[in-house]
A = this chain, B = another copy of it.
Amino acid sequence: MTVPTGSLYLVPNTLDFGTPGEVPDLQDVLPLAVIRHAARLTHWVAENAKTTRAFLKRVDAVVPLAQPLQALSIIELPRPRKGASNAAPGDLRALLAPAQTGHDIGLISEAGLPAVADPGAALVQAAHALGVTVVALPGPSSLLLALAASGLNGQSFAFVGYLPVEAQERGVRIRELEALSRRLNQTQLMIETPYRNAALLGALLAHLNPATRLSVSSGLTLAGGFTRTDTVAAWRAGPHQLAADVPAVFSLLAG
């Protein structure tokens, strides 16, 4: 008898991780079908088990969980060994073992879509290698919401992750991204650890050309969230502030 293989579901999380203020309703940002999917999954691989349990409590308030929280299997993604960029392939195959015995598995990160600007891609890769079906469920992505709200070029864009922290290296990288943006007419998106948001904004304003357009989206989908797009010259001319405890996305298009 063949046991049907389970699938790997990529479950989006909300965008309020670590932010102050009231936790928004799950139905503000997730489709009901996704909440239903999450409620029936019994095997999870998570960036963080604690935040996953908090997420599942919010799910349970909308659609009762198929099994009590305590009965669910929630395993954290192994961190890469020192010097390696990914976990060992054997570790990842072990995480997918429930699929081989017919259980669907949920992959979830602390915020937004797993495997995008977040750990998890190596597990998805291992799933494809094992022939496990991968299904990404729709949910909020701060990168795409920021890009849409920016009014910058949405026909050609790149997400480049984090910039170097060291000031001189960062300046070089900012000018490099501006040159690339000009050459390809490509919006360049980046993120930063929230407590460094203000420093990154300062560095961007120091190094970019006055005519380059810079967009900052902060706290998207949350109360008080905003997107501001302006030329660097206009940003420099007025006051600007960025919360140190709310995630932000920065995007630029060379002008």
Interface residues of A (CB under 8 A from B): 10, 25, 27-33, 113-118, 120-128, 133-136, 138-141, 143-161, 186, 220-221, 225-230
Oligomer copy total: 2
Do A145 and B150 touch (CB < 8 A)?
no
Do B124 and A148 touch (CB < 8 A)?
yes
20 more contacts with CB within 8 A, not counting A115-B154, A116-B147, A134-B149, are A25-B33, A29-B33, A113-B144, A115-B147, A115-B151, A116-B144, A116-B148, A117-B155, A121-B153, A123-B151, A124-B148, A124-B149, A124-B150, A125-B229, A126-B151, A128-B151, A128-B228, A136-B149, A156-B160, A157-B159
Which B residues lie within 8 Å of A144 (CB)?
Answer: 113, 116, 141, 143-144
Per the bound structure, the CA–CA distance linking A154 and B144 in Å amounts to: 13
Chain B nearest CB from A250 CB (Å) reads 15
Per the bound structure, the CA–CA distance linking A10 and B140 in Å amounts to: 13
Residue of B27, B114, B145, B228 touching A32 (CB-CB under 8 A): B27
- Once A29-B33, A154-B115, A154-B117 are accepted as A-B contacts, the answer to whether A136 and B227 lie under 8 Å apart by CB is yes
Per the bound structure, the CA–CA distance linking A28 and B36 in Å amounts to: 10
Which B residues lie within 8 Å of A128 (CB)?
Answer: 151, 228-230
Chain B residue nearest in CB terms to A122: B151
Which B residues lie within 8 Å of A154 (CB)?
Answer: 115-118, 120-121
The 5 A-B residue pairs whose C-beta atoms are closest, nearest first, are: A124-B151, A138-B140, A125-B151, A158-B158, A136-B149
Chain B residue nearest in CB terms to A221: B138
Which B residues lie within 8 Å of A140 (CB)?
Answer: 138
Chain B residue nearest in CB terms to A128: B229
- Once A121-B153, A154-B121 are accepted as A-B contacts, the answer to whether A136 and B148 lie under 8 Å apart by CB is yes
Do B113 and A148 touch (CB < 8 A)?
yes
